[in-house]
Structure 1
Amino acid sequence: MEKTKKLALDTTTFLRIQKWYLLALAGIAITIIFAQVLIQQHLTSQLTDSRVINVAGRQRAFSQKLVKEILLLQKADDTDKQNILSNLKETLKVWKVSHLGLQKGNDSIGLPVEKNNEIILLFKDLNPHHEAMVEAVEHILEHDNSIESQIAVLLENERPFLKKMDGIVNEYDELSKAQLEKLKLKELLLFAFSLLILFLEIVFIFRPLSLQIKETISKLISSQKKTEDDAAEIKKLFVEKERSLVELQELNFVIDNAALFASTRKDGSIVFMSKKFLALLEQTKDSLNHPLSEILTQEEGQQQYLREIMISRRKHIRSEEIEVKTASGNKLWLDMSIIPMRQSNLEQSILILCSDITERKRNQLKIEELTKQSYEESIRQKQLQASQIVEGQEEERKRIAKDIHDGIGQMLTALKFNIESINLDQKEKTKEKITYLKTLTSDLIKGVRTATFNLTPPELQDHGIFPALQKMTQELSKLTGKNILFENKSKKNIRFDQLAETNIYRVTQEAVNNAIKYAHPNYILVTINHTDTLLSVVVDDDGNGFDPAILNQAPKNNSEGGMGVFFMKERIGYINGRLFINSTPGKGTRVTINYNLSNENINGTK
């Protein structure tokens, strides 16, 4: 009941605060809207006043223009006179319409009806001069022969017109300033009213609300502390409950595992055996007359072993994993614990506790079999890889022999035949043959250099991987005519393990040769860089590219090609490096070789 009353009180307080808060916001909103209405009205009035002042000021200019055009008409010839008369008519028309619109209003030029008595009186004082000037101009337009007398009328009325028109313009300006002052006063009053509403809102709404919120937060903190204390107590009880549950689970585990148990005398005869144990061994209670060793297994060798274990006098618990055979011939594995016990009559008995571990043993045998198969499969893979490597080496020897036979051998044969066919009596043909022999000799030298360079580059042995790769790109660029570039981002030449340098060089060479053979690129860029822990070689080309999915396919036989990537991976694998190949059809290929330097003994030279 008390809670219901408190809830009703909270609801009432909230509704009361909400009502005053909405009233305060409504007051501020009305004040802002009213201020905006006043400002918009004033802006509209200012636009109208600005238009009126502009037209009034223009009247002065038009009056001067009329006099100027009349004076020009007096001295103009017949040709100019028509233009001046036309302009004079237009000026007079606008001057008359504007003068009337300033008093009576004119929507077409945006002039309101004048309602100020002072300005109306000023216009009444101005009208005689305006009418006299209008009559004079109209008389000139109708009677061209009496222009001098009308000019005198215009000049006589122009100055008082201008002076009184200035008075009207000044009066317009004063009225506009007075309206602006009134607007300022209204704005100040509205601002003060808004501040008053805010002050009342702070005093009667925000301050009581903040006090109530403070009190509520204090209650919440107190309630939170109490809740935390209760939670700590509940946690303590929960921990005790968990401990009891663990103990109960341990007890259940012991009981479950002790379900296979038996008790024997020191001579091996059975005192008691659990039903579950009998069922597992496929025995009945009639079998309890036999020794335990005969019930556990049907094999004589195991029976003899069990009798020796049980008869031997031991003071400590002994555990055994034994395989037994049931009456039907099924084989079981038991984890047996033999516990010697002393009874009150000082006679020794034995407690047998067993667990059925047949499934575990079977799984263990399966794991061993799978391990053996995995090992054999690994050996087969290694043998296959070794055979592929031997095939690759044999293919490389065949390729070298073919290059020497088809290239160098044929050029040497051609060189021999050309030398033998030289006839000194035929000087012209001899010159041609000598020139051909020079070209053939240059090609032969180039072929020999290419073959020896591909076999073992001297720069790799003498200076290391950095100069060797630079030399390789230069030579391949000359030999193939391709644009092959080399970029060394390292600040110094560093020597690595010879095996690592050789394999990195060969893999890079294979990547460049693959790009030359298959990618048809515009350029090939070889970049080398290293940090304290990593050597990186990147081969980029802008050639045809390929689908990276083919890298996951099994390599083809060497006679069919496709073993290059396989040997690249094998070589990098020898030195525990990593090879990455990224390619997109039509967008080129990137081959990245990474070699870990953490185990290297690096010697650097500047």
Structure 2
Amino acid sequence: MENQKQQQALDTATFLRVRKWYLLALATIALTIIVAQILIQQHLNSQLNDSRVINVAGRQRAFSQKLVKEAMLLKNASGNEVEYQRIRNDLEHALFVWKTSHDGLQNGNDSIGLPKEMNETILKLFEDLNPHHEAMVKAAENILGEINSLNLIPPSYDGHLQVLLNNERAFLGKMDAIVNEYDAQSKEKLQKLKLKEYGLLAVSLLILFLEVVFIFRPLSIQIRETISKLIRSQIKSDNTASEVKRLFAEKERSLQQLQELNFVIDNAALFASTRRDGTVVFISKKFLGLLERTETQVNLPLAEILTEDEGQQQYLREILTSKRKSIRTEEIEIKTKKGTFLWLDMSIIPMHQSSLEQSVLILCSDITERKRNQLKIEELTKQNYEERMQQKQMQASQIVEGQEEERKRIAKDIHDGIGQMLTALKFNIESINLDQKDKSKEKIAYLKTLASDLIKGVRTATFNLTPPELEDHGIFPALQKMTVELSKLTGKNILYENKTEHNIRFDSLAETNIYRVTQEAVNNAIKYAEANYILVTINHVDGLLSVVIDDDGKGFDPSVLDKVAKKNSEGGMGVFFMKERISYINGRLFINSIPGEGTRVTINYKIGAAVLDKSE
């Protein structure tokens, strides 16, 4: 025990020591990586500045040549006002950029991203270059200053141009030297960075070598020794497991025998034992009483004792005398000596399977009551199904009746409204006499009014049909369009409030029924409640769609709602069909009203698989 504690302490100390050195090595490598990254980032920033400086310096040469070129072209364009002005603008722009860049290369310029030059060699080169630059700048400024707006070339132009030409070659040569010096300095910085990177790489490789020698090698030796110990322990464990498995198998056989004995004892109420030929060895008294037999009748085969039905006797002989090694379970209906029908749950258990003589143990349970209850349940289920089918048929006939009433209403609206207006329109057109201009004007004015009413009637009739917004965009835009159109047609204050964040699409059948019920509720508020203010509010929270229609009409007594349910709307759905539509989509409809104060109709629908409309 003391040796084991000492071994554990030694393992812990070894682990702590290895962990300390390992963490130290990792921290050193991480530090070298961080330092390398800092150096690289600094060099990259320097390279960006150097690249910008070299780019601007190289561009100075091109601008000096452009300056001379534009000055020469200026004289040739003196006869063309447009071309002259363009060249003059280009010359001014080139001179400005050239001067700004030249000053920025020496003193720095934040607007074009140039740092202040600190290198003495480059500043010395700029000192040699500056006289040529200043001479060219002064000559270019003199050219621009002496040429007036009349495009007249002064006599001094050739002299200034000659100054530009004389200094251009020297400027280009010295500017090349400056660009080369920039490039040489950039390469020198890169070479220094390479040396630093090589040094950091050497340090990292040295640390890795030390890790291998002082950490990983001792650790691998210790792991190899530990694995050897584990293999020896595994072999010993396998031998022990084999012994345990053998003992467990013996225990299982004993347990199986005990289970078979317990099974017989636990189900001893209805049991029997038979020989291989089906004759009875023993049968319990309770079993005989259930079968309405006496002890003097046990000399018969068990199949004949169990039932009086010859077909069942033949079936029982086959299953009781057949050879088998597993337990068989049967649910069988039997007929007793007195003609009583019983249901038995029978388990047939083969016994003494290792001997040549095989007996059979029969264990039974009386399940007659369970079977009778099952039959009653099946009858009730069938009866409920038939009642539901009758209810569905009744609902279908009522829906068809409502559809026919809706068609009649639409036909009546078209015949009484649109049809009569079309007839009046036809007669008025036929009665126009162009010779009677005053009466013709009156009839034409009347025809305009009649045509406007006709259009309004057509819009009203077509609006009562399914709007295209419902199919194309869903219930939200369709209800908004409905309130706007009804407000225009009726002159009532009909408002729509959408409290949802997105347009939600769901089952088209549900959308259609919700739209129709909302439309009917609004129409009822207009026609029968004589409401002046109607608010349609729609909301969607936690998968529940809620549509609320509030009005300030005269209201009604809710206690008489069922009596007038089918007469609530002439030619329309009525309250009955509103409820049927919502019930058809598994929704709920609530109607609350107070006489003289108004009515609230609430539609709730649980959305199963809503889809957000991405077009919104």
Q: TM-score range by the shorter chain?
A: 0.5 to 0.7
Work out the CA distance in 2 between the residues paired with 1:302 and 1:512.
Answer: 71
Work out the CA distance in 2 between the residues paired with 1:310 and 1:554.
Answer: 71
Deviation at 1:566, TM superposition (A): 4.2
Letter in 1 for 2:321: I
> What is residue 382 of structure 2 aligned with on the other side?
372
**Counterpart check, 1:271 vs 2:281:** yes
Deviation at 1:570, TM superposition (A): 4.6
Work out the CA distance in 1 between the residues paired with 2:291 and 2:542.
Answer: 67
Work out the CA distance in 1 between the residues paired with 2:396 and 2:385.
Answer: 16
Work out the CA distance in 2 between the residues paired with 1:396 and 1:389.
Answer: 10
Work out the CA distance in 2 between the residues paired with 1:377 and 1:538.
Answer: 34
Q: Secondary structure at the match of 1:438?
A: helix
CA contact (8 A) 2:566 2:576 kept: no
> What is residue 351 of structure 1 aligned with on the other side?
361
> What is residue 3 of structure 2 aligned with on the other side?
none
**Counterpart check, 1:523 vs 2:529:** no
> What is residue 339 of structure 1 aligned with on the other side?
349
Q: Which residue of 288, 294, 297 corresponds with 1:284?
A: 294
What pairs with 1:435-474 in structure 2 (closer than 5 Å)? 435-461=445-471, 463-474=473-484
Work out the CA distance in 2 between the residues paired with 1:534 and 1:512.
Answer: 22
Letter in 1 for 2:362: I
Q: Residues 339 and 375 (structure 1 numbering): CA distance in 2 closer, same or farther, change over 3 Å? A: same
Q: Residues 327 and 547 (structure 1 numbering): CA distance in 2 closer, same or farther, change over 3 Å? A: farther
Q: Secondary structure at the match of 1:407?
A: helix
Deviation at 1:357, TM superposition (A): 0.7
CA contact (8 A) 1:477 1:483 kept: yes
> What is residue 293 of structure 1 aligned with on the other side?
303
| Unpaired runs of at least 5, structure 2 | 1-260
**Counterpart check, 1:538 vs 2:551:** no
Q: Residues 464 and 570 (structure 1 numbering): CA distance in 2 closer, same or farther, change over 3 Å? A: same
CA contact (8 A) 2:306 2:335 kept: yes
> What is residue 416 of structure 2 aligned with on the other side?
406
Deviation at 1:446, TM superposition (A): 0.7
**Counterpart check, 1:485 vs 2:501:** no
> What is residue 29 of structure 2 aligned with on the other side?
none
**Counterpart check, 1:361 vs 2:374:** no
> What is residue 429 of structure 2 aligned with on the other side?
419
Q: Residues 598 and 492 (structure 1 numbering): CA distance in 2 closer, same or farther, change over 3 Å? A: same
> What is residue 612 of structure 2 aligned with on the other side?
602
Work out the CA distance in 2 between the residues paired with 1:542 and 1:269.
Answer: 90
CA contact (8 A) 1:335 1:356 kept: yes
CA contact (8 A) 2:406 2:571 kept: no
Deviation at 1:305, TM superposition (A): 0.5
Deviation at 1:516, TM superposition (A): 1.9
Q: Which residue of 306, 312, 337 corresponds with 1:327?
A: 337
Q: Residues 557 and 537 (structure 1 numbering): CA distance in 2 closer, same or farther, change over 3 Å? A: closer
> What is residue 29 of structure 1 aligned with on the other side?
none
The TM-score with structure 2 as length reference comes to 0.51
Q: Secondary structure at the match of 2:403?
A: helix
Deviation at 1:315, TM superposition (A): 2.3
> What is residue 163 of structure 2 aligned with on the other side?
none
Deviation at 1:341, TM superposition (A): 2.1
Deviations, residues 338-380 of structure 1 (Å, cap 9, x unaligned) = 2222399863222222111111001111111112222222233
Q: Residues 340 and 579 (structure 1 numbering): CA distance in 2 closer, same or farther, change over 3 Å? A: same
CA contact (8 A) 1:422 1:433 kept: yes
Deviation at 1:301, TM superposition (A): 0.8
Deviation at 1:442, TM superposition (A): 1.7
Q: Residues 305 and 554 (structure 1 numbering): CA distance in 2 closer, same or farther, change over 3 Å? A: farther
The TM-score with structure 1 as length reference comes to 0.52
Which 10-residue stretch deviates more, 538-547 or 398-407? 538-547
Q: Secondary structure at the match of 1:289?
A: coil
Q: Residues 348 and 446 (structure 1 numbering): CA distance in 2 closer, same or farther, change over 3 Å? A: same
CA contact (8 A) 1:582 1:589 kept: yes
RMSD: 3.4
| Unpaired runs of at least 5, structure 1 | 1-250
Deviations, residues 268-325 of structure 1 (Å, cap 9, x unaligned) = 1222222222222222223222211112111111000000111112222221110001
Work out the CA distance in 2 between the residues paired with 1:344 and 1:504.
Answer: 75
Q: Secondary structure at the match of 2:298?
A: helix
Work out the CA distance in 1 between the residues paired with 2:547 and 2:374.
Answer: 47
Deviations, residues 134-161 of structure 1 (Å, cap 9, x unaligned) = xxxxxxxxxxxxxxxxxxxxxxxxxxxx
CA contact (8 A) 1:395 1:558 kept: no
CA contact (8 A) 1:282 1:326 kept: yes
Q: Residues 552 and 289 (structure 1 numbering): CA distance in 2 closer, same or farther, change over 3 Å? A: farther
Q: Residues 331 and 544 (structure 1 numbering): CA distance in 2 closer, same or farther, change over 3 Å? A: farther
Work out the CA distance in 2 between the residues paired with 1:345 and 1:456.
Answer: 84
Work out the CA distance in 1 between the residues paired with 2:264 and 2:595.
Answer: 67
CA contact (8 A) 1:532 1:597 kept: no
Work out the CA distance in 2 between the residues paired with 1:559 and 1:595.
Answer: 24
**Counterpart check, 1:315 vs 2:322:** no
Work out the CA distance in 2 between the residues paired with 1:363 and 1:317.
Answer: 27
**Counterpart check, 1:475 vs 2:468:** no
Q: Residues 255 and 564 (structure 1 numbering): CA distance in 2 closer, same or farther, change over 3 Å? A: farther
Which 10-residue stretch deviates more, 560-569 or 260-269? 560-569
Work out the CA distance in 2 between the residues paired with 1:269 and 1:464.
Answer: 78
Deviation at 1:587, TM superposition (A): 3.4
Deviation at 1:526, TM superposition (A): 1.0
Deviation at 1:511, TM superposition (A): 1.6
**Counterpart check, 1:592 vs 2:593:** no
Q: Secondary structure at the match of 2:365?
A: strand
Q: Residues 312 and 492 (structure 1 numbering): CA distance in 2 closer, same or farther, change over 3 Å? A: closer
CA contact (8 A) 1:263 1:351 kept: yes
Deviations, residues 91-120 of structure 1 (Å, cap 9, x unaligned) = xxxxxxxxxxxxxxxxxxxxxxxxxxxxxx
CA contact (8 A) 2:567 2:574 kept: no
CA contact (8 A) 1:485 1:526 kept: yes
How many residues are treated as equivalent by the alignment?
Answer: 356
Deviations, residues 509-553 of structure 1 (Å, cap 9, x unaligned) = 122112223323242111233457444322111223345456678
Work out the CA distance in 2 between the residues paired with 1:371 and 1:487.
Answer: 46
Deviations, residues 199-234 of structure 1 (Å, cap 9, x unaligned) = xxxxxxxxxxxxxxxxxxxxxxxxxxxxxxxxxxxx
Letter in 2 for 1:363: N
Q: Secondary structure at the match of 2:397?
A: helix
Deviations, residues 62-96 of structure 1 (Å, cap 9, x unaligned) = xxxxxxxxxxxxxxxxxxxxxxxxxxxxxxxxxxx
Q: Residues 500 and 551 (structure 1 numbering): CA distance in 2 closer, same or farther, change over 3 Å? A: same
Work out the CA distance in 1 between the residues paired with 2:532 and 2:568.
Answer: 28
Work out the CA distance in 1 between the residues paired with 2:476 and 2:514.
Answer: 11
> What is residue 386 of structure 1 aligned with on the other side?
396
> What is residue 138 of structure 1 aligned with on the other side?
none
CA contact (8 A) 1:569 1:579 kept: yes
Work out the CA distance in 2 between the residues paired with 1:565 and 1:414.
Answer: 36
Letter in 2 for 1:516: I
Deviations, residues 227-280 of structure 1 (Å, cap 9, x unaligned) = xxxxxxxxxxxxxxxxxxxxxxxx999868532222222211222222222222
Identity in percent: 80
Letter in 2 for 1:603: D
CA contact (8 A) 1:535 1:597 kept: yes
Work out the CA distance in 1 between the residues paired with 2:368 and 2:419.
Answer: 74
Work out the CA distance in 1 between the residues paired with 2:482 and 2:356.
Answer: 93
Work out the CA distance in 2 between the residues paired with 1:402 and 1:420.
Answer: 26
Work out the CA distance in 1 between the residues paired with 2:505 and 2:434.
Answer: 56
Letter in 2 for 1:258: A
